[in-house]
Amino acid sequence: MNRQRLSLWWFVGTLVFALLSMLVPLPNVLEPFKPYWPALFLLYWSLESEDRVTLGLAFVIGLGADLLNGVVLGEQALRLCALVFIALRFRSRLRFFPMWQQTLAVLALLLNDRILLLIVRMLAGGMLPPASWWISPFVGAALWPFLFLLLDDLRMRLRIQ
């Protein structure tokens, strides 16, 4: 019982941490390199414990991110829903990919996410972002193996599932 509660707290804590790190400001030069943390953490959890991550959860997290970020309500909810849906659909395959293939898959997912965001912004009447805007998915994919191993290791150490 206690173990279960701990694992739930760990799950919620990582997601909250993802939202917080999305808000942390970086120096102007580093700004385009900031990965989309909520997507990475949600991806990890959708691969590792699929019964916890549902589309509804992705939607709620997205709404929370929208609230914190001050963008149009529903924008990130839409993006995260699409991301989690694809991840859950190919979960059994993604899980058994070797790490480099998994990283490529994550890159594809993050790029797809950016394209979705671009479409939403265009529909809302925004303008084309600068080229540096496309760096973030690559950084996210490059961080993926480390994030995955770190979270997995921590999970093992805490002996939670």
Partner 1 sequence: MARARDESSPLFAGNAAGTLRLIFYLALAMVLMVLDQRNGWLWRLRYGAAAVVEPVYRLAGLPAASVRTLSVAFADRQRLTEQNQRLREDLLLANAKLNRMSAVAEQNQHLKELLDTQHSLELNVQLAHVIDVDLGAYRYRLTLNLGARDGVKPGQPVIDAHGVMGQIKEVLPTTSVVMLVTDPAHAVPVVIERSGLRTVAYGSRDGGQLTLPNIPLAADVRVGDRLLTSGLGGRFPSGFPVGEITAVAPAVTGMFLMAQARPAADIDRSEDVLLLHDQAEPDGPPAPVKPMGPPRDLAPPAAEAPITPASKAGALPAATQLPTPATSGGVPR
Contact in structure between 39 and 1 (CB atoms under 8 Å): no
Smallest gap from residue 97 Cβ to partner 1 (A): 15
Among 55, 99, 150, 154, binds partner 1 (CB under 8 A): 55
Q: What is the DSSP string of 74-104?
A: THHHHHHHHHHHHHHHTHHHHHTS-HHHHHH
Q: What is the DSSP string of 115-153?
A: HHHHHHHHHTT--PPPGGGGHHHHHHHHHHHHHHHHHHH
Q: How many residues bind partner 1 (CB under 8 A)?
A: 46
88 versus 160: smaller Cβ distance to partner 1: 88
Q: Give the number of other Cβ atoms within 10 Å of residue 55's Cβ.
A: 13
Smallest gap from residue 132 Cβ to partner 1 (A): 10
Site for partner 1 contains 7 (CB under 8 A): no
Among 1, 28, 100, 157, binds partner 1 (CB under 8 A): 28
| Residues between 94 and 133 with contacts to partner 1, criterion CB under 8 A | 120, 124, 126-127, 129-130, 133
Site for partner 1 contains 71 (CB under 8 A): yes
